[in-house]
Amino acid sequence: MKIVYILSTSRGGLPHYVAELANAVSKHAEVTVIKPKETSADNLFSSKINLVNAFEPIALSYVDLEKKHVSVLEAMRSLLSFRNIKLVDDIKPDVVHFPTGLFPTLTFFASLYRLDKKYPCIVTYHYVFSRKLILRGRDVYSGEPLLTIIALNVGNILNNLLSIQTAKIIVHTERDKNVLIGKGIDPRKICVIPHGYYSIFRNYSPKTQEEKNCILFFGNIIASKGVDVLVKSIPIVCKEIPDIKVVIAGDGVIPRESWKIIKQFKSNFEIHNYFIPNEMVCDFFHRASLVVLPYKGQGGYSGVFTIACSFGKPVVATNIGELPILVRNAGCGLVVPPEDPKALAEAIVKLLKDDELREQMGRNALKKAEELSWDNIAKMHMKVYEEVLNEWGKRSKR
């Protein structure tokens, strides 16, 4: 079986998601990834995979919007480069899979070249919006700047106007499946496959070991991720654990009010405000006693949560989206209300002071990561691909 994956983003967690999925599926099928010329996961793909550098690097990430580092000219050049999706015809795959969702221009060119008429097409949505319009301060992007909300709404509206025929839609949660059914999608077309638990970063040899009372905030620093809530909680934590070390590692904007607290408690903070290279991720997670996910609004699934589990790190997470279900079911952490620095501080203190509880939750995290290994996730995908090909073959004979 020949599978083509269309990787449509350059940086962040989605290139890593595609690398993990493609690597695992390549054990069962012939895999090609059509992708931007440069991505944050370029050195993570298996040598078995045929990589086709077809798109310009995509310059429209949430971090770029938050930092206002957006060039309209570069963005247009990136989006128009999706016309190179016609390279699919040179490969002649059995299945075309869009594992990072569909940008409107990607949908346009896929439709223009009639890819959905030539091949069975599958799309993975990592979050499905329940409303046609995303409101500032509500939904999953709580607190995001107006520019981000406008960009999300424009993309959402265009995606509703443009479409391709999909053989199957993959989502990660029952919630997303129910939202799609509510929008009139045939339930038989929707497959729920959990997000795999990232293991790719464990391939690097750690240069560090766990540090006592060290907590980690990792990933893109955007308003909805709640780094400001974490920072506000630390003066409270310091009353119980004066030597607390807070490592903040990721690209984005740390609010001015947070910087005031960080400077006041500078011995308790370690800031790495840049995109973290793959080879450094292992060390950050090895150092941490626990990982904090103080999200105000987070759709779908947290890739950082899966990395924490793969390293056997307990988490303190907020009661947002699927996070409380994932954390409680796995028994790998504590759940607190969003935007509540006091509750967050109490949970951090509880876990740091209770070695036995923290270690048990770490073991539970590792167990959950093993259950949702990428080998298992790949087998779920292969089942979907085989089902799609069977249905496609029956349709072709009509």
> What is the pLDDT at residue 86?
96
Q: Encode pLDDT of 282-333 as tens digits.
A: 999 999 999 999 998 755 568 899 999 999 999 999 998 788 888 988 899 9
Euclidean distance between CA atoms 210 and 50, whole angstroms? 38
The CATH class of 200-371 is alpha beta
Give the pLDDT mean for 246-274. 95
Q: Chain centroid to CA 304: how far?
A: 8
> What is the pLDDT at residue 101?
86
CATH superfamily of 2-196+373-396: Glycogen Phosphorylase B; (3.40.50.2000)
Q: Encode pLDDT of 98-146 as tens digits.
A: 998 887 888 889 999 999 999 999 999 988 776 555 554 444 444 555 5
Euclidean distance between CA atoms 48 and 25, whole angstroms? 10
CA distances (Å), origin 17, targets 54, 263, 294, 300, 307: 19, 36, 22, 14, 11
Give me the chain's average pLDDT, please: 87
Euclidean distance between CA atoms 262 and 269, whole angstroms? 6
pLDDT bin (cut points 50, 70, 90) of residue 234 is very high
- pTM score, two decimals? 0.84
> What is the pLDDT at residue 162?
53
The full set of domain ranges for the chain reads 2-196+373-396, 200-371
> What is the pLDDT at residue 23?
96
Q: Encode pLDDT of 158-202 as tens digits.
A: 556 557 889 999 999 888 899 899 988 999 999 999 999 888 888
Q: Encode pLDDT of 62-109 as tens digits.
A: 555 555 666 667 777 888 899 999 999 999 999 999 998 887 888 889
> Does the pLDDT at position 223 exceed 90?
no
Domains 2-196+373-396 and 200-371 share a fold: yes
Which of 261 and 151 is assigned the larger pLDDT? 261
Using CA atoms in the order 163, 169, 173, 178, what is the torsion angle rounded to 10 degrees?
Answer: 70
Instruction: Report which secondary-structure segment, H or E, holds 246.
Output: strand 245-249
Question: Residue 232 corresponds to which tokens in the numbers above?
Answer: 């506000």
